[in-house]
């Protein structure tokens, strides 16, 4: 294997964050001001760091304006008018997701802000920042990027306002939007601007979205989806529009997509091809300081770096294509990976960092155990428009091979100073099960699990899993059985931590009951469960709003009532005392009173259960009975073991 040309190296200086720093560098003005809703962290797990370093490497002067005061346009004048324009991003995640829970409650912590402080970026940050820049400088070029812009590039359902919103490009008054992974896109735009090409004339760059007039010549073969007005007023039109957009999300066979806005049309050019191995190696070789900026010292730093400081990203893209995940619409379904030499060199660099204690926390990415495209056909013809690689059953062309990933982990753990290498990002358990060679499976269990391995079966009901784009629960059961067999072979005590989701489109209350029964039958007591969160850019969000699967145009049941959602969520943690009442309510509503009582198959005890009547859950008739129960409860609370003296206590072993 040839030696990698681009070996990661540690930088010792940040990009300028003040005008004085620009002056010290001899700049009159920067070429670009990068405005971000996150605190400035110069680490390759942060989009701001990657894009700014890539542009710097291409010869451009970049200044960072992180979390500016958005209540006026004054802070946006900090560096003066940049020579070429403003780059605008809400940050690593959508600003609404950063601020609100699935229940639309305000979060109290922001992992991408100094000290975890909330409120340092606005809601819908991309729009707010762009409009402030327009106030400050009028017609200066504004280029949108990042996850929020990428996933809101078309008309989209907004969960927080419960309505269809226009493309973020329209509402922001920006000039051009970049979607997906932006390195090559932005370098191409920057070079055109540097040559004097007006921003309004840049219409032939892949991976961009721009506004034009009906009848304007397009640079790529195109397909038209329903207009904004149609989408806003017709849910079926919205589902059809998303289906078109999803099908064209491929760099090889994808066409431009046009969406009409009255006297304007929004044009999405086909995707930029994914970075190939040498290009990825180069991106990760740039001189990141791998730290948060020193200006956050007084706040204790930026919490978001803690999970990734000693972790490595080795791949991009995901052919898993879960319907609730935005990766297919952002990074794409065609997987690419870095060379082993580049990844091992980064691991060696990490071992020299202050605070390193011998543990590489992760060697992963969107899905840790993917290194190559799902099949050879994807390299020539692109990903299939009407077929997923892994579900509902694996494609006959699927290539299952963990050999290179196994070797990569072995090389990293053989480095001096490395005690252990963990795999903590998502393992695609179905892909692992389909590998007839168990070398990686055994190595994973023996060497790379930190006591618990996180996996994502999500549900057990077949029709819910189909709506999610996940494999049948039998595949997970096969994986689980083999995981524990191998664990036992190595004399270890390790556990699986399953991710489970309630109220996903397709899931009825009866499905949540089925899942609760499965959890009881298999002895699983999940500590955390996720209520489905409709975020922009996913097929599941379209299902949630329209009741239609946009990939098949078939009807899907969607739970929208808040209390019913809470019942589904509570059933996944049926054994928690605080959930007893709502679990009983859910079981009664489903006609499953057989699961209320004290027999082994029951999920919850009867609320009031006199001797000989384990199924009774109605209110007691006498006040005397109430007093007796209250007295017993008081005695249990006062006793150090939580029970009356002399009573049997079951201690957790």
Q: pLDDT per residue over 260-290, tens digit each? A: 999 999 999 999 999 999 999 999 999 999 9
Percentage of residues in the chain with pLDDT exceeding 90? 89
What is the per-residue pLDDT for 527?
81
CA distances from 480 to 61, 222, 474, 475, 497 (A): 52, 46, 10, 9, 11
Strands 85-89 and 62-66, bridge-based pairing: unpaired
By the 10 Å C-beta count (0-12 exposed, 13-18 middle, 19+ buried), 210 is classed as buried
Strands 222-224 and 256-261, bridge-based pairing: parallel
What is the per-residue pLDDT for 494?
94
pLDDT, mean of residues 76-101: 97
Is the predicted pLDDT of residue 650 greater than 70, yes or no?
no
Instruction: Place 610 in a pLDDT band, splitting at 50, 70 and 90.
Output: low
pTM of the model: 0.90
Among the listed residues 164, 94, 80, the one whose alpha carbon sits nearest the alpha carbon of residue 127: 94
Q: Torsion angle, CA of 210/213/217/219, rounded to 10 degrees? A: 10
What is the per-residue pLDDT for 626?
44
Is the predicted pLDDT of residue 5 greater than 90, yes or no?
no
Helices of type H across 223-318 = 228-233, 235-247, 277-283
Give the distance from CA 426 to its chain's centroid. 11
| pLDDT averaged over every residue in the chain | 92
The overall longest dimension of the chain from CA atoms, in Å, is 89
pLDDT, mean of residues 160-173: 97
Identify the architecture of domain 292-525 in CATH.
Answer: Alpha-Beta Horseshoe (3.80)
Q: Give the H or E element holding residue 265.
A: strand 264-268
Q: What single-letter DSSP state applies at residue 10?
A: B
* Neighbouring C-beta atoms of residue 262, cutoff 10 Å: 9
612 or 472, which is more confident? 472
Instruction: Place 386 in a pLDDT band, splitting at 50, 70 and 90.
Output: confident
- How far, in Å, CA of 15 to CA of 41, rounded? 10
pLDDT, mean of residues 56-70: 98
Please name every residue paired with 223 in a beta bridge, in sequence order, or none if there are none. Answer: 257
What is the per-residue pLDDT for 634?
33
What is the per-residue pLDDT for 613?
55
Among the listed residues 284, 384, 280, 274, the one whose alpha carbon sits nearest the alpha carbon of residue 330: 274
pLDDT, mean of residues 174-196: 97
Domain 1-207+272-291 falls in which CATH fold? Rossmann fold (3.40.50)
Instruction: Place 346 in a pLDDT band, splitting at 50, 70 and 90.
Output: very high
CA distances from 403 to 215, 408, 438, 439 (A): 52, 9, 10, 8
- How far, in Å, CA of 594 to CA of 415, rounded? 58
Q: Which residue has the tokens 């006026």?
A: 72
Is the predicted pLDDT of residue 632 greater than 80, yes or no?
no
370 and 315 Cβ atoms separated by less than 8 Å: yes
Instruction: Place 611 in a pLDDT band, splitting at 50, 70 and 90.
Output: low
Q: What single-letter DSSP state applies at residue 36?
A: E
User: Phi, psi (5° rounding) for residue 282?
Assistant: -65, -45
Q: Side-chain half-sphere of 372: how many Cα atoms within 13 Å? A: 15
What is the per-residue pLDDT for 609?
55
- How far, in Å, CA of 235 to CA of 241, rounded? 10
29 and 22 Cβ atoms separated by less than 8 Å: yes
Domain ranges across the chain: 1-207+272-291, 210-271, 292-525
Model confidence pLDDT, tens digit, residues 573-594: 999 999 999 999 999 999 999 9
Q: Which residue has the tokens 């806003």?
A: 232
What is the per-residue pLDDT for 459?
96
Q: Which residue has the tokens 């990068």?
A: 34
Please name every residue paired with 421 in a beta bridge, in sequence order, or none if there are none. Answer: 360
Q: Which residue has the tokens 């840790």?
A: 368
**Residues contacting residue 178 through CB under 8 Å, at least 6 positions apart:** 143, 144, 145, 149, 150, 185, 186, 189, 207, 208, 209
Q: Which residue has the tokens 């150090």?
A: 640
What is the per-residue pLDDT for 350?
97
Complete edge-to-edge strand list for the sheet that includes strand 142-144: 62-66, 32-36, 85-89, 142-144, 176-178, 208-212, 264-268, 256-261, 222-224
């Amino acid at each position: 294997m040839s030696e990698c040309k681009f070996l990661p190296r540690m930088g010792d200086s940040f990009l300028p964050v003040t005008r004085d720093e620009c002056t010290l560098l001899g700049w009159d003005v920067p070429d670009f001001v990068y405005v971000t809703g996150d605190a400035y962290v110069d680490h390759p797990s942060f989009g701001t760091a990657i894009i700014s370093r890539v542009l710097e490497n291409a010869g451009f002067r970049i200044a960072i304006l992180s979390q500016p005061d958005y209540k006026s346009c004054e802070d946006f004048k900090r560096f003066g008018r940049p020579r070429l324009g403003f780059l605008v991003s809400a940050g690593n995640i959508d600003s609404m997701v950063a601020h609100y829970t699935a229940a639309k409650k305000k979060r109290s912590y922001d992992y991408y802000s100094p000290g975890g402080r909330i409120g340092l970026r606005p809601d819908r940050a991309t729009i707010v920042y762009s409009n402030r820049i327009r106030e400050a400088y009028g017609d200066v070029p504004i280029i949108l990027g990042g996850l929020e812009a990428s996933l809101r590039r078309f008309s989209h359902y907004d969960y927080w306002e419960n309505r269809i919103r226009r493309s973020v490009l329209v509402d922001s008054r920006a000039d051009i939007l970049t979607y997906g992974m932006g390195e090559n896109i932005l370098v191409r735009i920057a070079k055109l601007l540097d040559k004097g090409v007006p921003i309004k004339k840049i219409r032939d760059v892949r991976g961009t979205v721009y506004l034009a007039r009906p009848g304007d010549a397009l640079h790529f073969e195109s397909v038209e989806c329903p207009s904004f007005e149609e989408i806003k007023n017709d849910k079926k039109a919205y589902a059809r529009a998303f289906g078109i957009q999803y099908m064209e999300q491929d760099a090889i066979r994808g066409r431009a997509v046009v969406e009409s806005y009255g006297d304007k049309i929004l044009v999405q050019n086909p995707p930029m091809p994914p970075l190939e191995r040498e290009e990825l190696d180069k991106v990760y070789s740039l001189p990141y300081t791998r730290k948060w900026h020193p200006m956050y010292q007084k706040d204790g730093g930026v919490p978001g770096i803690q999970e990734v400081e000693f972790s490595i990203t080795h791949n991009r893209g995901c052919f898993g294509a879960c319907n609730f995940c935005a990766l297919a619409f952002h990074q794409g379904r065609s997987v690419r990976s870095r060379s082993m030499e580049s990844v091992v060199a980064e691991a060696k660099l990490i071992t020299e960092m202050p605070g390193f204690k011998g543990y590489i926390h992760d060697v992963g990415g969107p899905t840790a155990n993917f290194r190559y495209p799902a099949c050879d056909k994807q390299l020539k013809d692109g990903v299939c428009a009407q077929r997923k690689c892994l579900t509902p059953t694996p494609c006959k062309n699927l290539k299952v091979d963990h050999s290179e990933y196994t070797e990569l982990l072995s090389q990293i753990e053989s480095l001096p100073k490395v005690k252990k290498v963990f795999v903590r990002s998502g393992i695609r358990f179905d892909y692992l099960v389909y590998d007839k060679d168990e070398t990686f499976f055994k190595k994973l269990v023996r060497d790379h699990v930190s006591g618990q391995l996180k996996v994502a079966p999500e549900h057990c009901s077949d029709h819910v899993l189909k709506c999610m784009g996940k494999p049948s629960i039998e595949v997970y059961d096969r994986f689980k059985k083999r995981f524990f067999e191998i664990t036992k072979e190595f004399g270890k005590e390790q556990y699986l931590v399953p991710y489970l989701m309630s109220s996903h489109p397709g899931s009825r209350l009866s499905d949540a009951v089925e899942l609760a029964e499965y959890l009881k039958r298999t002895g699983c007591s999940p500590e955390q469960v996720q209520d489905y969160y409709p975020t922009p850019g996913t097929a599941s969000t379209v299902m949630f709003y329209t009741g239609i699967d946009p990939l098949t145009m078939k009807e899907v049941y969607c739970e929208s009532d808040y209390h019913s959602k809470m019942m589904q969520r509570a059933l996944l943690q049926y054994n928690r005392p605080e959930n007893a009442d709502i679990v009983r309510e859910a079981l009664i509503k489903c006609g499953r009173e057989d699961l209320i009582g004290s027999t082994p198959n029951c999920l919850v005890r009867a609320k009031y259960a006199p001797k000989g009547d384990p199924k009774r859950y109605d209110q007691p008739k006498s006040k005397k009975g109430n007093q007796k129960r209250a007295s017993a409860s008081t005695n249990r609370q006062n006793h150090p073991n939580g029970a009356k003296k002399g009573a049997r206590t079951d201690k957790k072993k």
